[in-house]
Structure 1
């Protein structure tokens, strides 16, 4: 499953590997560095075409002030929280319940039902654009928070169920046998035995789902129209002008938007790594 370590008696290969990893890391961080560099410049420097030069005057604080004074970024930020937090909570609840049933109970149609959850992950979201939009319009939920919440919960539950089912299936059978011997009901077993052991998986899944929903742009522009309900990803697009754009302010707003998922990852990094490792033990 994991790549074999490079032997110490092959120093040239180890140096080549380290150099290749460093190159990939540099290419990955280059766009982030460009955004930070742009967010630190003045509008005159950007208009002069000084994209990769060192800022003559660090204007980062002023650009951040302009984001909140000249744009509705706070409103977009609150909208994203209203959409993301309930979506993450509902996905965790539904995937835990479904994963528990699929992992611990053998019934007719179990494999078929699990296949449907897994198969949904391979369905491109773009082909559902028109049906989902028409559905939200017909039920009167278009351009509301509920439209995005319902879609994200429905679309993310498939992946989350796969993740939780694999995690629960990897738990020792002795735990469930002991719970049954004590007379615990299935719900009590899940509440007092499974959920306490699933905290790393729940933390890892919460970070993943939070990032997916928070960074979504496609459905943010498909299912919303007014600024009242637009999340930050769609709000960033509104910062672009018709004839010219203040890219330094756009870059500063982008850095602000990236803070919540990055902060959440670093706060829960230990649980995130443990959850991913334990959830991938058994299929």
Structure 2
């Protein structure tokens, strides 16, 4: 009798909320499913339209399943739109911009989060406040400023920063540094202060702490920011259209303009061109999805 009583007492107590099991969040799942479907409808509709010849959509209508399905619109858009050249222009603009943004923002985030000095909070507020200013407000001042900066003609055929890749790189870098500094500074503040203190005792300077200790620990956050910045800069349409006048230097987001007719628009061809521009960012996001999600969810739970 005493042994059975002791065994019953030794059993763990049952928790009130489903015996320790988490309750299913049906509302959250339904909301996320609906939002995912809403986001996928435009992409799916563009792909569906791009796979149909224009003659079939004119005959049966866009809201129909009649006619053939092929990749002729993609081949025509690739050659007519000049996508190989425009993809190279986007690569020339996007890659240096991402490197500069992550380098400058990581150094600034290290300065305001890991170093105790007088103006660290003030500078962080200034960098963050810069994101609240619409880019269109600075369009005219930046255009006039770049026009007045004199450069040799062997470097710029306009004699200024206008009509160069550098102008777009500078504008995108300046407008993206604030956001990345804010994210990285918060991430660096969550790291233990004992790491840099131990390195300082061992004789490591500020640069050594930044390169050898903090930056390796920030790889998930940097991977997430690199993915976001790639999408932001690659899809940017405003700054290249403002600063670049030569059509052969425009990024791929403007290549769709070459598919526009003078009096008639082939929407099937335009849908194929739009789908082609989406493919690089979609592939890169899927390739870096694990690092992207890990960088966003780090620090969301404790214990």
Give the TM-score, by structure 1 length.
Answer: 0.89
Matched, 1:22 2:33: yes
Per-residue deviation, 1:134: 1.6
Match of 1:103 in 2: 113
Match of 1:92 in 2: 102
1:278 Cα deviation after fit: 2.8
Query: For the structure 1 residues 46 and 132, does the alpha-carbon distance in structure 2 shift closer, same or farther, using more than 3 Å as the test?
Result: farther
8 Å contact 1:34–1:52 — kept in the other structure? Answer: no
Contact 1:96 1:161 in 2 (8 A): yes
Aligned runs of 1:29-40 on 2, under 5 Å?
29-40=40-51
Aligned to 1:242: 262
Give the secondary-structure state (helix, strand or coil) at the position aligned to 1:228. Answer: helix
Does the alignment pair 1:80 with 2:90?
A: yes
The residue number in structure 1 matching 2:189 is 169
Which position in structure 2 is the counterpart of 1:136? 146
Paired residues of 2:236 and 2:253 also in contact (CA < 8 A)? yes
Number of the residue aligned with 1:146: 166
How much does 1:255 deviate? 1.4
- Cα gap change, 1:81/1:49 in structure 2, threshold over 3 Å: closer, same or farther? farther
Larger radius of gyration: 2
Offset, 1:200: 0.5
Q: 1:280 deviation in Å?
A: 7.1
The aligned counterpart of 1:53 is 64
Cα distance, 1:181 vs structure 2: 1.6
How far apart are the structure 2 equivalents of 1:280 and 1:159? 19
Give structure 1 stretches of 5+ with no counterpart. 1-5
* 1:34-81 superposed Cα distances (whole Å, 9 cap, x missing partner): 10111101021344472222252112x211211222221111111001
Q: Are 2:123 and 1:113 aligned?
A: yes
Deviates most, 198-207 or 254-263: 254-263
2:116 match: secondary structure: coil
Q: How many residues align?
A: 271
Q: Cα RMSD (Å) of the superposition?
A: 2.1
State whether structure 2 residue 126 is matched by structure 1 residue 126. Answer: no
